[in-house]
Amino acid sequence: MATKEKNPDKGVENGKEVEPKSAEEIFEEFKEHSVAEFFTKNKQMLGFSGKVRSLTTVIHEYVTNGLDACEEAGILPDITVKITSVQEEHYLVKVADNGPGIPLDHIGRALGMMLSGTKFHRYMQQRGQQGIGATGCTMFAQLTSGKPIHIRSSTGNGKVYECNVSVNIKTNMPNVSDVQEYEGEFRGVEVMAEFADVKYDRSEYSPLEYLKRTAIANPHAEISFIDPEGRKVRFPRVSESLPERPHEVQPHPLGLESHTLYELMRISPARKVSSFMTTELVRVTSSKVDELRNVIPQFDFDMSPKDVTWEDARRLVAGFKKVKWVAPSAEGLRPIGNDQIEISLRSLLSPEYLSVRSRPPKVYKGGVPFIVEAAISYGGKSGARTEAGSVGGEIMRFSNRSPLLFDAGGCAITKAVKGIEWKRYGISDFDTIPVTVFVNILSAFVPYTGAGKQSIASEPEVVDEIKFAVMDVARDLQRYIAGKVREETRATKRKAIIRYIQLLSEHLPMLANTGNKEDLEKKLTVLVFDKFKADEAEEDKKEKKTRVLMEEEGNESDSDSDGKIEFDEEDM
Amino acid sequence: MATKEKNPDKGVENGKEVEPKSAEEIFEEFKEHSVAEFFTKNKQMLGFSGKVRSLTTVIHEYVTNGLDACEEAGILPDITVKITSVQEEHYLVKVADNGPGIPLDHIGRALGMMLSGTKFHRYMQQRGQQGIGATGCTMFAQLTSGKPIHIRSSTGNGKVYECNVSVNIKTNMPNVSDVQEYEGEFRGVEVMAEFADVKYDRSEYSPLEYLKRTAIANPHAEISFIDPEGRKVRFPRVSESLPERPHEVQPHPLGLESHTLYELMRISPARKVSSFMTTELVRVTSSKVDELRNVIPQFDFDMSPKDVTWEDARRLVAGFKKVKWVAPSAEGLRPIGNDQIEISLRSLLSPEYLSVRSRPPKVYKGGVPFIVEAAISYGGKSGARTEAGSVGGEIMRFSNRSPLLFDAGGCAITKAVKGIEWKRYGISDFDTIPVTVFVNILSAFVPYTGAGKQSIASEPEVVDEIKFAVMDVARDLQRYIAGKVREETRATKRKAIIRYIQLLSEHLPMLANTGNKEDLEKKLTVLVFDKFKADEAEEDKKEKKTRVLMEEEGNESDSDSDGKIEFDEEDM
């Protein structure tokens, strides 16, 4: 053993020397804990912070699960939500869907075990992607009301079951109890759960607002809501067309990270790297493999994927970046569509002007394709009421058709919209104009900043793409506003001239000493307005020139974004 | 089996009717995944998003672990950080501390297994609290460089070991390899790890800025840094006094949630609820228990804590809110202290004016005490340079002495500071004045919005308290600015008068027809300045009155905050 000597690092606490505590003493405290314990202590990371937000989070989790299940099964969704008051700040929430149901042997893990589910490992556009949300609600029900959640479900085979589900927080294992089975005509899932320490209101962060926005982005869904005071709100289905069923897509070589490629190859049944690439990645043709052979000649494309080392994978990824690729397909992504967005926003905001645009798919890190849909709405009920009572610019954020109501500050959508030089688009100050900007991001994997999924991380490609999409619609609005200003100026001019003509006509007869006032007025009007029209035509010509210049500018900024990922347009 | 009939819910995809997919088919995809897989797919939740931020996150995790370990062991921390370039966007990071070391049998779980550690389950103020960060770095090293991390450690007993650590992402189990043990004089932990897809720069989000701010909040630490270009920066220890060693504190009854109380009672060795309360909660005396007996007479305080149901716990928590309590003690919390903050900020910002304040501890939900320290610095190098090149208000955020560099938008500190009516404090626009606001929040449990721990959730009590703390120092600054404006006005007046006197003296002799200009000027000066001083005294008197009024206003808003948690001042 080493001799104990005076320790030179020894600190002083309140004037007294401190004897160091040993590693052994400290590590006596070493413990493991489950992911359910982690999220019990960090509920706010799942969106359970604040009484209003917590209740909206519950509605969000159940409604997105219902919509995802219906769409995967190919069923037009009918969602009903009912919130009943139990006592002060304590509610019973009931959410039912007409989806495919959950088989009894999966119900425990689906709703009572975190990090399990059908979505996490698949490369598919769905609202849920983590396997945490629904179990988070079960946990939150237990923590605040002390009660398990109650489920009624059937896969539509004539047999219905009901049961209670809870999660063992120490072990993250599900507990299913009080199972009853009976015959009945029902298909889908109905969740009934009690939550305390939550609050229902009708603010912009409320379940009502959440459902309203869900309806905007999901015109194929029928949504009914009964609030705690018994008021019923119905958001009717406005489209009978189900979005294309989501399906898995293969990764695109561009931006694939070494570790992902390495993992994919380790489990690949392919016998050669070349065949792995042409069968398990998109946009890899055998001629593309030949091109790569030239770019990284030291790499053996004939070896087995299982023999590829991590370092080989890294070299392959580096090689991918040196050749041109066809952009990934958007076939796995299901945009809302310009027409549907227009119908929704017109009915919600009755705007004076509306422009909707979709942009072609792009890729961000990890070979993940994504699409941005954007709209701008002006006038009518557009914009948000500020605290001072005036109307200012509003940003409506969506990802994979789910409304994002919270954590706006850190979100890529907010950053992109606020980062636009609005003055360039005829808007002197975004915060003082009646404008609503709508943005929906679609991707098989949306990079959320937190498990609460209310805010999108600022991946540079994503921020740029949102910016360009909003700039597209802003440019449309700019033309409208410019036209409106021109029209107003003209109207003012016309009025002034008419007043002038009237005045002139009043007095000219006296001055000219002729009795026919009407005749004189008519003649003067024709004369002046002919001149006026010629002036306007000249102005229009000028405006058209400016517009062309502006569009060229716009295209420039687009190619800035593409600069990061080079696509071989000819191959497309 | 039910007969297959035309399904009325059946949707239409691209004009074709869609056959519903069954629950059984969907649930074939059901899988479980580990917390390490979750964070591999959601790296951004741990702060690994963006090349610069990712590198700073690595430094943050290792440095906070080093500081926590030293302080718990009672050792004055010496931290050295070295970043070496391996190739483009690929660095070797080496962080060493002189702490208590990690015993070899714990190294795997400490650095290669998520959700394990010494901190998660303890009620103690430490920088780390989740048991995720360091293993997150191991995971990130593997994902980007394909390599395990390398450790050298000793508990100071003359035996040193080195080994490699990695995490099995599929199982979240640690893998320790290449262990070597030898004799040597070393104590502490040295981590060497390689990261690719990261970038070193010297921006406000860089490791250098992170370490600079760490030094500000930890004057008892000696920190050395060598950047990739070999430049050495030393942040010397400026205080030999170690902050009081952190220790566990017991929960305060106010704001305790039912489930926490229920869990505490289930594992309590106490025989009666009353003795559980007086021994395992703070501020519960036996007379307080008697008071509670009157408030909830139907509750049996003599029953065994193990027999308490969840519903009983809920009633007890409701009862707690009906009596007055002594505020929780701050003894578990270790503020930086006004003197240390002042020394740090003066040396960093050379401000023209500085005010530092600490507020008494408060409680937020969960019975968790917290303290806010705030400072405002004006002039000198205060403020942040905006993109346009001008200087604007800057917010320096800290929690438990750790700098928060990222996710400012969603942070309670930003919200609180931006929510202040700065005009009331003589600052017309926070974004255009050379001001730095410093806020440090101390708590055994800081409510972070995400596992990346860069942003504090907006718990109302926390936001209010930050606001009041900043308002305190803003009031000080307001007085200084008002005084300065008054002084400037006076100086201007004085100058004007002097010019007037000079002019008068120039011309009076002629006018008055007397030859002695000097004599006349002296006499006039005395005359005018006597009057001037009397005017100033009058002004000062008025200003003093306003100040008293303002302070009363300030106190009012303080009591607003206390309104939420009523404390029995007499018991204190």
State pLDDT tens for residues B154-179. Answer: 999 999 999 999 999 888 899 999 99
Asked if A258 and B144 come within 8 Å (Cβ–Cβ), the reply is yes
Task: Indicate the pLDDT class of residue B562, thresholds 50, 70 and 90.
Answer: very low
The conformational region for residue A453 under phi > 0 = left, psi -120 to 50 = alpha, else beta, is: left
Of B30, B116, B450, the CB nearest to A450: B450
Tell me what the mean pLDDT of segment B27-52 comes to. Answer: 81
Nearest chain B residue to A409, by CA: B409
What SS3 string covers A486-510? HHHHHHHHHHHHHHHHHHHHHHHHH
Annotate B268-309 with three-state secondary structure. CCCCCHHHHHHHHCCCCCHHHHHHHHHHCCCCCCCCCHHHCC
Under an 8 A CB cutoff, do B33 and A116 touch? yes
Q: B319-374, pLDDT tens digit by residue?
A: 998 888 887 777 778 888 898 899 889 988 899 999 999 888 888 865 678 999 99
pLDDT for B363: 80
A414 touches B: beta carbon within 8 Å: yes
B241 → chain A, closest CA residue: A12
> Is the CB of A259 less than 8 angstroms away from the CB of B146?
yes
Please report the pLDDT score of residue A551 as a whole number: 45
Chain B partners within 8 Å of A11 (Cβ): 74-76, 220, 240-242
| Interface predicted TM-score (ipTM) of this complex, two decimals | 0.71
pLDDT band, residue A490 (cuts 50/70/90) = low
Contacts of residue A103 in chain B, CB cutoff 8 Å?
Answer: 23-24, 27
Q: Which residues of B touch A311 (CB under 8 A)?
A: 146
pLDDT of residue A474: 94
Q: CA torsion sign, A108 to A112 to A113 to A114? A: positive
Q: Is the pLDDT of residue B531 over 70?
A: no
Chain A, residues 37-96, CB within 8 A of chain B, namely: 37-38, 40-42, 44-45, 49-50, 69, 72-76, 78
Tell me: pLDDT of B114 over 70. yes
Is the per-residue pLDDT at A171 higher than 80? yes
Q: Does A102 touch chain B (CB under 8 A)?
A: yes
Does any CB of chain B come closer than 8 Å to the CB of residue A239?
Answer: no
Spatial distance between the Cα atoms of A568 and A50, rounded to a whole number of angstroms:
49
For residue A5, pLDDT over 50 is answered with no
Span B373-396, mean pLDDT? 87
State which fold the A329-572 domain adopts.
Ribosomal Protein S5; domain 2 (3.30.230)
Query: B39-235 adopts what CATH topology?
Result: Heat Shock Protein 90 (3.30.565)
The confidence score (pLDDT) of residue B212 equals 92
State residue A95's pLDDT score.
97
Q: What is the pLDDT of residue A529?
A: 64
Q: How far is A93 from chain B (nearest CA, A)?
A: 19
Q: Do B2 and A158 touch (CB under 8 A)?
A: yes
DSSP string for residues in A201-254: --STTSHHHHHHHHHHH-TT-EEEEE-TT--EEEE-----BPP------PPPST
Q: Looking at the DSSP assignment, which residues form a beta bridge with residue B122? A: none
User: Of the candidates A27, A41, A75, which has its C-beta nearest B106's C-beta?
Assistant: A27
pLDDT higher than threshold 90 for residue A227: yes
Residue A146 pLDDT > 60 = yes
Q: Are B109 and B176 in contact (CB under 8 A)?
A: no
**Residue B14: pLDDT over 70:** no
Mean pLDDT of A220-225: 95
Q: Under a CB-based contact definition with an 8 Å cutoff, are residues A11 and A18 in contact?
A: yes
Give domain B338-473's CATH number out of 3.30.230.10, 3.90.1200.10, 3.50.50.60, 3.20.20.450: 3.30.230.10
pLDDT at A208: 94
DSSP A4: P
CA distances from A9 to A332, A568, B190, B397 (A): 60, 62, 17, 29
B409 has a chain A CB within 8 A of its CB? yes
Is A410 or A233 the better-scoring residue by pLDDT? A233
pLDDT at B71 > cutoff 90: no
- Cβ A45–B259 below 8 Å, yes or no? no
Report the residue from A18, A34, A35 with minimal CB separation from B245. A18
Q: Distances in Å between the alpha carbon of B550 and those of A310, B281, B290, B437?
A: 66, 39, 42, 21
**Cβ–Cβ < 8 Å for A377, A312:** no
Q: What is the interface size between A and B, counted as CB pairs within 8 Å? A: 289
Q: Which residues 307-346 of B are in CB contact (within 8 Å) with A?
A: 310-311, 313-314
Stretch among A61-75, B17-31, B198-212, B468-482 having the lowest mean pLDDT: B17-31
A3, pLDDT greater than 50: no
Average of per-residue pLDDT across B397-407: 90
Where is average pLDDT lowest: A452-466, B259-273, B494-508? B494-508
Q: Is the pLDDT of residue B387 over 50?
A: yes
Q: Is A405 helix (H, G, I), strand (E, B) or coil?
A: coil
Burial (CB < 10 A; 0-12, 13-18, 19+), residue A157, is middle
**Structure token pair of residue A424:** 């360039």
Higher pLDDT, A543 or B277: B277
- Residue B249: pLDDT above 60? yes
pLDDT tens digits, one per residue of A402-413: 899 888 888 999
The answer to whether B431 contacts chain A (CB < 8 Å) is no
Phi, psi of A104 (to 5 degrees): -55, -40
Q: How confident is the model at residue A385 (pLDDT cuts 50, 70, 90)?
A: confident
Interface contact A120, partner B, CB < 8 A: yes
In A, which residues are within 8 Å of B76 by CB distance? 9-11
Averaged confidence pLDDT in chain A: 82
pLDDT for the residue numbered B321: 86
| Chain A residues with beta carbon closer than 8 angstroms to that of B117 | 30-31
Q: Is the pLDDT of residue B559 over 50?
A: no
B256-260, B393-397, B437-441: segment of lowest average pLDDT:
B256-260
pLDDT at A493: 64
SS3 content of chain A, % helix, strand, coil (to 5): 40, 20, 35
pLDDT score for A67: 92
Task: Give the containing element (helix H, strand E) for A59.
Answer: helix A51-73
The confidence score (pLDDT) of residue B525 equals 67
What distance in Å separates residue B521's CA from the closest CA in chain A?
56
Asked whether the beta carbons of residue A41 and residue B445 sit closer than 8 angstroms, the reply is yes
- pLDDT per residue as tens digits for the range B34-44: 888 888 888 88
More confident residue, B422 or B27: B422
Average pLDDT over residues A194-206: 92
Side-chain half-sphere exposure of B531, counting CA atoms within 13 A: 9
Which pLDDT value is given to residue B272? 95
pLDDT of residue A466: 96
- CA B320 to chain A, closest CA, distance in angstroms equals 15
Band of residue A7 on the pLDDT scale cut at 50, 70, 90: very low
Please give the angle made by the CA atoms of B452, B458 and B464, to the nearest 5 degrees.
Answer: 135
User: What confidence score (pLDDT) does residue B58 get?
Assistant: 96
Tens digits of residue pLDDT in A269-314: 999 999 999 999 988 999 999 999 999 999 999 999 999 998 899 8
Answer positive or negative: Cα dihedral of B453, B454, B458, B459: positive
Q: Is the pLDDT higher at B32 or at A351?
A: A351
- Residue B16 — φ and ψ, nearest 5°? -100, 145
pLDDT score of B88 more than 70: yes
CA–CA distance, A180 with A159 (Å, rounded to integer): 10
In this predicted structure, the answer to whether residue B248 has a pLDDT above a threshold of 50 is: yes
